[in-house]
Amino acid sequence: MAKDKKLVEQITSMDVDFAQWYTDICKKADLIDYSSVKGCMVIRPYGYAIWENIQKILDGRFKALGHENVYMPMFIPESLLNKEKDHVIGFAPEVAWVTMGGNEPLTERLCVRPTSETLFCEHYANIIKSYRDLPKLYNQWCSVVRWEKTTRPFLRSREFLWQEGHTMHETAEEAREETVRMLNVYADFHEHDLAIPVVKGAKTPSDKFAGAEDTYAIEAMMHDGKALQAGTSHYFGDGFARAFDIKYTTRDNTLAYPFQTSWGCTTRMIGGIIMTHGDDNGLVLPPAVAPIQVVLLPIAAHKNPQVVDVAKELYAKLQKSGIRVKLDDSDQSPGWKYAEYEMKGVPLRVEIGPRDLEAGVCTVVARHNLEKETVALDQIADEIPALLEKVRAGMYEKALANRERRTYACRDMEEIKKVRAEHGDGFIEAMWCGDEACEDKIKEETGVGSRCIPFEQKQIGDVCACCGKPAKHMVLWAVAY
């Protein structure tokens, strides 16, 4: 390692203090800064560029399925929030309220949106009149506020960016299909674009979204073995429609309530990228969302200025082909540049020096494993897409191997305790009878909570890991962020 990697030396090793390592990455890679508003962060240009790339990809996927973007107000009157009882009870502890308008007290408190179901329902009640108005496939990109007690950049902040889809359908079957379809969109995005393997499943009844009949989630394992809920999709049935009196004329000229879904993911995905792929040198970014996919470094240009000219020609070719590329011909030392772009998580580094020029080659370094390979200069522009895909695949396989290595099948609570004592955090697969009391007892005595009931079930045994009664499901258990 180069001696002048001063930025890298300031990162706490993840094996020493994973939480501090995470915070160091967020700061040293210029993703965030702290603000004077407690629990809120400044997302710096490099961090926001990652979010923009996430947004661009997902927005394209949503629109390809027929969804349209809208924008709802950020304030919700208290009377509107109170229309759906379970919903308001679920969010009450996290709600921020506006009570003054200028110097005048408001006649009714306004909630700063923690989520927008009520606003969408109010709007849908105004515009849905006939079966011809269905389905309504709306999505919005916005920020929401939840008054979290304990905050951490990207993972849990009082204000965060997200998208929230809200759809209305003629039948329960259509709405349920939409709920699962959107969960699959999130899962495919994480696995293909973010190189993060996920487990798809249903939340237990006690862990459902407030007001939902069913909640589905994707769960990802972070490098330290903890779980991260990376996206959720909810089926509401017609509960909200009834509460907000949303009725439409059916095909046989009767009145009916439509069926509703909601689904969302947030900037916590950036935290997931950091904790799944990062290392002690900094970020490791999936090519699909990396602000810079390739950095070009002319080496020893003072010995042969032509290396800069060749790098500029390559830069123009890559930029024209749609690659997000940066040319760094500054007077910083090569070691400093290596450290800088490793910190930034740039997927590929291309080095061109005088000897490379003579041999007609360049050196390509992949960020995820720091392995080097030599590529002919006249072929490198055409090889870059394949090299980026190689990086993505390598990142996915590395993350999958970590998950498989730290997933344990346990038949009872004693096995769970033993696994945790010997191996620390990880995914526990164990059977459950469906009783919430057992779910709570497992968490209380072993420290792992239910994450989801995986769609892909395994028969670990026939009885509940807690009470020994006949089991209904295999559940994924873990400590979660």
pLDDT band for 9, please (50, 70, 90 cuts). low
13 plus 120 within the same structural domain: yes
Q: What amino acid is encoded at 407 in this protein?
A: T
pLDDT band for 211, please (50, 70, 90 cuts). confident
Average pLDDT, integer, range 63-85: 93
153 plus 99 within the same structural domain: yes
**What share of the chain has pLDDT > 90, as a percent?**
93
Domain harbouring 130, CATH code? 3.30.930.10
In a domain? residue 400: no
347 plus 430 within the same structural domain: no
**What is the model's pTM?**
0.94
Both tokens of 270, joined, read: 């950036």
Range of weakest confidence among 85-89, 237-241, 385-389, 400-404: 85-89
251 plus 374 within the same structural domain: no
Among 39, 12, 33, 38, CA closest to 24: 12
343 plus 242 within the same structural domain: no
Q: State the chain's mean pLDDT as an integer.
A: 95
In a domain? residue 395: no
Domain harbouring 337, CATH code? 3.40.50.800
Where b means 16+ CB within 10 Å and e means fewer, 403-436 reads beebbbbbebbebbeebbeeeebbbbbbbbbbee
pLDDT tens across 427-461, in order? 999 999 999 999 999 999 999 999 999 999 999 99
Per the structure, the complete domain to which residue 458 belongs is given by 407-478
Domain harbouring 472, CATH code? 3.30.110.30
**Overall number of domains in the chain:** 3
**Structure confidence at residue 90 (pLDDT):** 74
77 plus 148 within the same structural domain: yes
pLDDT band for 196, please (50, 70, 90 cuts). very high
In a domain? residue 363: yes
Average pLDDT, integer, range 72-77: 96
141 plus 250 within the same structural domain: yes
Angle at alpha carbon of residue 323, lines to 319 and 326, rounded to 5°: 65
Average pLDDT, integer, range 72-87: 88
pLDDT tens across 215-231, in order? 999 999 999 999 999 99
201 plus 319 within the same structural domain: no
pLDDT band for 6, please (50, 70, 90 cuts). very low
Cβ–Cβ under 8 Å, residues 451 and 228? no
pLDDT tens across 334-345, in order? 999 999 999 999
452 plus 356 within the same structural domain: no
